[in-house]
Chains A and B, each alone.
Chain A
Amino acid sequence: MSPGQGLDHFPPAVGEGPPERTREITQGVIAAYAEASGDHNPIHLDPEYARRAGLPSTIAHGLLTLGAACASVETWAGERAWVSQVSCRFSAPVRSGEELTCTAQVTAVDEVMATLELAALTSASERALTKARVELRPRGDI
Chain B
Amino acid sequence: MAFNPDCLGTRYQGTPQLLDRNRHRAYAEAVGASPDEEGAFVTPLACFAAVYLLWPVVPQLFQDPAVGLDVEHLLHGEQEFSFERTVVFDETIRPEGVITQVNQRRGMVFLEFRCEGRDGSDQVVARARSLFVVQEPK
Contacts and interface: CB of A to CB of B under 8 A. Distances in A.
Contacts of A21: 32
A70 B78 contact: no
B78 A33 contact: no
A125 interface: no
A62 B27 contact: no
A131 to B, nearest CB: 8
Contacts, number: 121
Contacts of A87: 78-81
B33 A142 contact: no
Interface in A47-64: 49, 52-54, 61-64
Contact of B33 (A43, A71, A84, A139): A71
Contacts of B51: 37, 63, 67
In which size bucket is the chain A interface?
Answer: 35 or more
B46 interface: yes
B105 interface: no
Interface residues of B, number: 39
A33 B30 contact: yes
A88 B79 contact: yes
Interface in B29-83: 29-34, 42-48, 50-51, 54-55, 58-59, 62, 71-83
Contacts of B32: 21, 23, 29, 68, 71
26 contacts: A21-B32, A35-B26, A36-B27, A37-B55, A39-B55, A43-B71, A53-B72, A62-B76, A63-B47, A64-B30, A70-B46, A70-B47, A71-B31, A71-B44, A74-B45, A74-B47, A75-B33, A75-B34, A83-B44, A83-B45, A83-B83, A84-B82, A86-B47, A86-B79, A90-B79, A131-B78
**3 cross-chain pairs, A with B, having the tightest CB-CB distances, nearest first:** A83-B46, A62-B76, A87-B80
